[in-house]
């Protein structure tokens, strides 16, 4: 007769049943889908009286309930950009940063966007790749792969910042929504995740910390059911 073992529901069904393994993935970006008002900051270049950044924005989203809304309304006079800093990295390691962007056709005149990677001292590590994204009425994923110098970042912090940047030519005149920012140690952009996904956990407060996606280990109690 099968041996019945009592199993705590939170252990077998909840996230506590998921343990990190050697194959775990870590999203190094906190608040990656802009569900809260923390973590990210706003950068400016030139005049920006008609430009703005709003997060969380409930206008539209691809992941969760919110995104980051950026209005570029000053053309050649300047622009604004969302930025998240103080992300620790390892010297000599290769990382890929990716993000989804949506530009409504009705709010688009010209310009494009891409990802820039700087160290905390604003020394450039990687400034986009390929053509800036300018497609409208669809979610488009942009990504950039980069390697940290073997002797560390130029400013000595071994920390980087992700800038959702704007191409300078042609001058930006558009509204863009950003969502699903992923940074992990990888040679290419993998499937997006954060701590709200099945099989993933937040490594601290929800939407304010990094997150880990791990292969589920079967609890010992479940292996002893038969």
Domains of the chain: 33-190 (2.60.120.260)
Tell me the sheet residues that pair with 126.
117
Query: Are 6 and 196 within 8 A, CB to CB?
Result: no
Categorize the per-residue pLDDT at 9 as very low, low, confident or very high, splitting at 50, 70 and 90.
Answer: very low
What residues are paired with 27 via a beta bridge? 211
Whole-model pTM: value is 0.84
Lowest mean pLDDT among 16-25, 36-45, 61-70, 209-218: 16-25
Question: Which position has the higher pLDDT, 224 or 28?
Answer: 28
- Which sign, positive or negative, has the C-alpha torsion 207, 209, 211, 216? negative
Query: What are the tens digits of pLDDT across the range 106-129?
Result: 999 999 999 999 999 999 999 876
């Amino acid at each position: 007769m099968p041996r019945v073992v009592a199993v705590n529901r939170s252990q077998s069904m909840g996230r506590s049943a998921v343990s990190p393994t050697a194959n775990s993935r870590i999203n190094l970006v906190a608040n990656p889908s802009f569900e809260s008002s923390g973590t990210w900051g706003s950068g400016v270049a030139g005049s920006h009286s008609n430009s703005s950044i709003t997060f969380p924005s409930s206008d539209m989203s691809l992941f969760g309930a919110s995104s980051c809304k950026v209005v570029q309304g000053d053309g050649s006079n300047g622009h604004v950009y969302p930025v998240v800093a103080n992300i620790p990295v390892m010297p000599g390691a290769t990382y890929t940063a990716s993000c989804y962007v949506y530009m409504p056709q009705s709010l688009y005149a010209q310009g494009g966007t891409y990802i820039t990677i700087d160290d905390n001292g604003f020394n450039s590590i990687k400034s986009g790749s390929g053509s800036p994204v300018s497609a409208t009425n669809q979610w488009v994923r942009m990504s950039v792969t980069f390697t940290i110098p073997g002797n560390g970042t130029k400013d000595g912090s071994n920390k980087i910042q992700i800038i959702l940047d704007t191409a300078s030519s042609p001058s930006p005149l558009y509204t863009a929504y950003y969502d699903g920012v992923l940074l992990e140690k990888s040679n290419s952009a993998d499937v997006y995740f954060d701590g709200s996904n099945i099989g993933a956990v937040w490594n601290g407060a929800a939407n304010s910390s990094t997150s880990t996606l791990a292969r589920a280990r079967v609890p010992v109690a479940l292996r002893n059911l038969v």
